[in-house]
Chain A
């Protein structure tokens, strides 16, 4: 895993330090009308003309730097962001806190809904409930965040279309729109009205996916001999589902939910851009869009660490939940 992390960071480092990127950095730090010779001399003064392995070693903190000795990512020195004119670590910590709240609410909405829907559908395979829920989950799983976000805003947060004008005319709401179309207010105070749409947008896509996994897993468990035994003993459906089936049916979905975490990151980037919520995803877009190399590297390290950590965590959870894997 350490090897993977090193390979990945080297890859990102190489991609962000390609000559055109450095040239753009020079021009944004110096002046936009620098000649090629001036760019070269700026890069030389800033030390970017040295070979890539040396730069990477210094960034990592393995090789000593001229001004501060060993000061790289491993020592907690993440460099200076050129867009925000602040230390990268401060920017990332702040944005991660904002995204943390978003993720928390997404999880709080998504996980119980998805598990309940999936269990309900898988309980009696082929029933009318199952068909309805299945089609609904296929629908939400076919709707990427930038589509559902747009549709939700048009439905609930537009002054000219959807529900808001109707509700406003009927005198049910004071404001022009039911929900707010941007979440920038949620940076200081989270309310239901400014946070519901971003949370719903991310949760919708994931809910469909997790519910489908839960349904498949539940249907499989319900076909097991021990469920038939319980039924023959005269146990009611509620008891069978809650006591006998649910625990075994949740092994697969829980691992999937954990694996979803990094994948939620995609949704977070889209939703934070769409709703102007200044979290991790928004920061990543700013860093990449403005060629802020230090910040982009920092964001990549965080994102990649998150992915690798959740992969390890989901392995652990699978072992903990599945008694068959507990040898000994």
Chain B
């Protein structure tokens, strides 16, 4: 069999992404039709940059979702004779007749690894971002709203973490030696408690005087939350549904730990700004508790900047995950995530660049999409 030309490679790749195109058409079509009723999200359709960002982000989200359908090979399978194969090389006797984007130094399919990497990155980055935002909100709101000594103490802690160069922190926190200690589990137990605590406080502060709705919300929150928490953080889920492998747990904890202080600073700044507003004073006069005011009065009014920040933060987290992979920290060497693949590929970079360039471009486009989206959201929310 002959190798494929570049046009044919692109054509075949476009065909493999068919589920993604269908999903994109469906989502963007529906969004466009309903754009008048979608508020801020709908206005993105009238903004060139926003539409571009949204499309790129959705593309990668759908790729992660349909990764099994799109990938041509098993991302870990090695085919003999295809070590460092050029893009479009024939791969006889396997699930697909070609290595569309070539093989890596272990004769695995670059295209399938890129697609599988998307799933891995998009499984961790948004979850880590949400976790960091939960920490930021739960510590930042009281720091900004109450102020005083509490603010001073929390700000000091945040600045302490921020004064660490990120890479030094990674090298200290994400080593195989650390994984032998109880440190990652302790950290995880603490950090994963924040999203749960956030939901509990959110519900409790609103419905504490009404027993029925309180119980209706609190029982599933507590049940599901504690179940997930015990599984993910403590690895003690009795049913074995929620589980994080230890390497992934360390990576997750490190990324949340690095992100939390900056999230804290942003929330604190917003709370400082909003605490003098009339609606806060009104709520206080009504006799509402501090957590109700923080979570139901201040937080909804700070949502604009927080959504923009979350977008940028997912991008930043993707970069951080790539950094960890690039230094071979925390992830298993087999892992198809983009950072590790770049790290694997860089040894033969000058001779066989495709193995490293493919995941590099994938990572760049995802972060670019998120940044464009954040930029457009910021611009559109300023028009409010």
Residues of A within 8 A of B (CB): 4, 7-8, 11-12, 15-16, 18-21, 24, 135, 138-139, 141-144, 146-147, 150-151, 153-154, 157-162, 177, 181, 262, 265-266, 269-270, 273-274, 281, 284-285, 288-289, 291, 296, 299-300, 303-304, 307-308, 311
Contact = CB atoms under 8 A, between A and B. Distances in A.
B368 A142 contact: yes
B167 A20 contact: no
Contacts of A144: 319, 322-323, 363, 367
Interface string B203-227: 0000000000000000000000000
A304 B164 contact: yes
A160 B352 CA distance: 7
B273 to A, nearest CB: 18
Given A4-B163, A20-B181, A142 B315 contact: yes
Contacts of A150: 342, 345-346, 349, 353, 356-357, 360
Contacts of A288: 168, 171-172, 175
Given A150-B342, A284-B167, A307-B165, A142 B364 contact: yes
A15 B351 contact: no
Given A266-B166, A285-B327, A142 B367 contact: yes
A146 B350 contact: no
Contact of A158 (B319, B353, B364, B371): B353
B177 interface: yes
Given A139-B368, A146-B339, A308 B165 contact: no
A181 B163 contact: no
B165 A138 contact: no
Contacts of A266: 165-167, 323
Contact of B177 (A20, A269, A308): A20
Nearest to A7: B160
Contacts of B134: none
B368 A153 contact: no
Contact of B372 (A20, A138, A151, A311): A138
Contacts of B370: 142
B360 A151 contact: yes
Contact of B350 (A11, A157, A304): A157
Given A8-B163, A151-B360, A158-B353, 4 more contacts: A20-B181, A143-B368, A159-B350, A281-B167
A299 B360 CA distance: 29
B366 to A, nearest CB: 9
Given A262-B165, A307-B165, A143 B364 contact: yes
Interface in B166-192: 166-168, 171-173, 175, 177-178, 180-181, 183
B361 interface: yes
A53 to B, nearest CB: 19
Contacts of B175: 21, 288
B361 A151 contact: yes
B32 to A, nearest CB: 23
Contacts of A158: 349-351, 353
B179 to A, nearest CB: 8
A33 B310 CA distance: 49
Given A7-B160, A19-B181, A265 B349 contact: no
Interface string B71-97: 000000000000000000000000000
23 contacts: A15-B172, A15-B178, A138-B372, A142-B368, A144-B363, A146-B322, A147-B322, A147-B342, A147-B360, A147-B361, A147-B363, A150-B342, A150-B349, A150-B360, A153-B350, A154-B356, A154-B357, A161-B353, A262-B165, A273-B327, A288-B175, A303-B164, A307-B164
B360 to A, nearest CB: 4
Contacts of B367: 142-144
B169 to A, nearest CB: 9
Nearest to B367: A142
Given A19-B181, A147-B363, A159-B350, A307 B163 contact: yes
A177 B167 CA distance: 31
B159 interface: yes
B375 interface: yes
B183 A18 contact: yes
A161 B356 CA distance: 13
A55 B305 CA distance: 46
Contacts of A303: 164-165, 168
Counting chain B CB atoms within 10 Å of each CB, which of A8, A20, A291, A311 scores highest? A20
B326 interface: yes
A63 B117 CA distance: 51
Nearest to A311: B163
Contacts of B360: 146-147, 150-151
Contacts of A143: 364, 367-368
A181 B164 CA distance: 30
A262 to B, nearest CB: 6
A162 B353 contact: yes
A304 B375 CA distance: 32
Interface string B346-384: 100111111011001101100110111001000000000
B375 A138 contact: yes
B351 A138 contact: no
Counting chain B CB atoms within 10 Å of each CB, which of A15, A157, A284 scores highest? A15
Nearest to A291: B177
A181 B350 contact: yes
A20 B350 contact: no
Nearest to B356: A150
Contact of A18 (B49, B178, B342): B178
Contacts of B165: 262, 265-266, 269, 303-304, 307
